[in-house]
Amino acid sequence: MDAPRQADSPSRPRPIARERHEHFATCARGLEPLLHAELKALKFGNLERQVGGVQFTGTQVDAARANFELRTAIRVLRRVATFSAPDEASFHAGAKGVPWEQWIDSDATIRIDATSSDSRLDHTHYLEQLAKDAICDRFRELAGARPSVDLDDPVLPVRVHLSKDRCKLLLDTSGDSLHKRGWRVHQGKAPLAETFAAALVLHSGWDLRSPLVDPFCGSGTILVEALLLALDCAPGLFRERFAQERWKDHDAPAFARLRAELEARRKPASSVQGRLQVVGRDASATALEEARANLRSAGLADLVRLEQGRAEDWRPRRGWNAWLVSNPPWGERIGDERAARALLETLGAGLRADGAGWTACVLSGNPDLERAMGLGGAPFATWHNGGIECRAVVQRF
């Protein structure tokens, strides 16, 4: 664990910004290979794939880059301490020994979230309480005042991970989940999380040039995420803020340089307009209105053709080497399942008849209906979406 550090004087350079830390980018279970590939493409060092995320080493500016650029991550955590915590006393001492004053003043707000597995301290609410007490005790001794708890918008969100009596304390550099990009103005009825939409596009192997169609586009999540990818636009550019920007060690000039670099790299919509065909369809006029508003909010409305229509009446255009990327309705209730089967059978028959050269990538909630659509036996990845296991299936026709 690092020793407490002196606060920087404004006139001195800030070496803290160049310090390298262990980080952990979290993701939904099953997305680890995609997240690993993203981090590799960004040239982050010491990558280690684990369940629920990927570990990497980097500076606070690297963490900011991860927050801006990663499409499949949920949050980026910075490890600040690891210690043995078989009992309350050792946990309190370990948590109190962390130089929290390096990131916040005593009048700031904190929030603690804990997990525990195979450990004697196994009550997570109690761990959160203990961690809060340890942080407050340290501030009381240093400054005579203590931070308060804010569950909604804390300045310093802290994670406690206890496993086999070893405790890791991590700072959540993201704050709000990274699926909250900042472009969404309409939720839609059953929106796919932005991280899953991006994952589906990445998993589909879309070449960023060929036409892309979502026949069940709903609020347009897949369309937006596909276009952000095609324009090399970091999804975090729409965010108002990441948690790390509120900390005392925040390197504002380096952060501003990073943002400017990402803005400059982002291709203008005009660079693909008229050349890239992206089509969103849905049976619901309301859904299409919502998709239009979301696309407009992301500055992408001119790049997408939105059409109202039932998927049963749609045929893949012959001769298009296009991608169909979608999360169709899979009929969660019994009655709905029959309707979904008929719908997906028709869609699959259309792809087999006219879709030579097309690639279909769907997020499936039901292997039986995959077979009905003609995707049975196609390679798939298993993803956990909000506790529900689903399969990302890709098939070339």
Ligand X SMILES: C[S@@+](CC[C@H](N)C(=O)[O-])C[C@H]1O[C@@H](n2cnc3c(N)ncnc32)[C@H](O)[C@@H]1O
Does residue 114 belong to the site contacting ligand X (CB under 6 A)?
Answer: no
Residue from 112, 230, 343, 372 in contact with ligand X (CB under 6 A): 343
Least distance CB 76 / ligand X (angstroms) = 24
- 222 belongs to the binding site for ligand X (CB under 6 A): yes
Q: Choose, by CB under 6 A, the member of 211, 218, 350, 355 that binds ligand X.
A: 218
Nearer to ligand X, 219 or 366 (CB): 219
CB of 286 to ligand X, least distance (A): 8
Residues 160-199 that bind ligand X (CB under 6 A): 188, 190-192
User: Which residues of the chain form beta strands (DSSP E)?
Assistant: 21-26, 45-50, 53-58, 75-84, 109-117, 148-149, 156-163, 166-172, 212-214, 278-282, 304-308, 323-326, 359-364, 380-385, 388-396
CB of 369 to ligand X, least distance (A): 13
- Binding of ligand X by 18 (CB under 6 A): no
x/- track of binding to ligand X for residues 271-310 (CB under 6 A): -----------xxx--x----------------------x
Q: How far apart are CA 181 and CA 126, in angstroms?
A: 32
- Which tokens is 12 given? 């001195």
Please report, for residues 40, 166, 207, 382, the alpha-carbon distance to residue 202 in angstroms, rounded to integers and kept in the order given.
14, 35, 9, 15
* Long-range CB contacts (within 8 A, 24+) of 28-33: 28/52, 28/74, 28/193, 28/195, 28/196, 28/383, 28/384, 28/385, 29/383, 29/384, 30/381, 30/382, 30/383, 30/384, 31/72, 31/195, 31/196, 31/199, 31/383, 33/381
Q: By C-beta, is 94 or 365 nearer to ligand X?
A: 365
Smallest gap from residue 373 Cβ to ligand X (A): 13
CA nearest neighbour of 390 among 351, 359, 361, 358: 361
In the list 60, 72, 174, 327, the residue contacting ligand X (rule: CB under 6 A) is: 327
Q: Which residue is nearest to ligand X (CB)?
A: 218
Look at the block and give the residue holding tokens 């004697």.
Answer: 120
CA 156 – CA 99 distance, rounded (Å): 13
CB 60 within 8 A of CB 17: yes
C-beta closer to ligand X: residue 74 or 311: 311
Please, what is the minimum distance in Å from the beta carbon of residue 3 to ligand X?
Answer: 48
Q: 283 or 293, CB closer to ligand X?
A: 283
Judged by CB under 6 A, the residue of 130, 167, 311, 351 near ligand X is 311
98 binds ligand X (CB under 6 A): no
Q: Which of 329, 331, 348, 350 binds ligand X (CB under 6 A)?
A: 329
Summarize as ranges the residues that interact with ligand X (CB under 6 A). Answer: 188, 190-192, 216, 218-219, 221-222, 282-284, 287, 310-312, 327, 329, 343
